[in-house]
Amino acid sequence: MEAAHRDDVFWIRVGLTICVLEFFGPILRDFSDSHALNPTWVGHARVHLVWLLGFMMFSGIANLYLIWVRRSGGLGDLWLSAAWQCCNLAGFWFAFLLLPVYDGDMTIPGVHMQVFGIDENVFVFAVLSVLMAAILVALRRAERTHA
């Protein structure tokens, strides 16, 4: 593999790693009194949240494996990680767009903050979505130029 291609792939891996951190963030934030340990939540809803948090944690670990450990040749593992992470991003935007349908609320006062007047979750997912778009372009370019 030529040096320029190795450099491109390295930076794609770094970008995917930054995006994959979102799989771990909710575990730190949501396993708390505001979410999973919230006594006002129905117990079954808490089961679903902890299930989701476990899925996210193991998805993050699997993605890190695809990004940094598994080297099956080519860019297939990186494409798989990117697709998996796009599912995570799309799931957030799906929940965000459907807020009025299920009477959801993006912000919990005193728990979530605003960044430039935007809910922190929306801000972070917007930044990650832009980064992922750049990663997809870089992957496509790397695929074309080093096939």
Domain boundary assignment for the chain = 3-145
Q: Give the rounded distance of the alpha carbon of 82 from its chain centre.
A: 10
Predicted confidence (pLDDT) per residue in 116-125, tens digit: 988 999 999 9
Which residues does residue 119 pair with via DSSP β-bridges, in sequence order? 114
Give the separation between CA 22 and CA 8, rounded to whole angstroms: 23
Predicted confidence (pLDDT) per residue in 91-117, tens digit: 999 999 999 999 998 887 887 778 898
Q: Say which residue the tokens 């450990």 belong to.
A: 69
Among candidates 100, 141, 99, which has minimal Cα distance to 11?
141
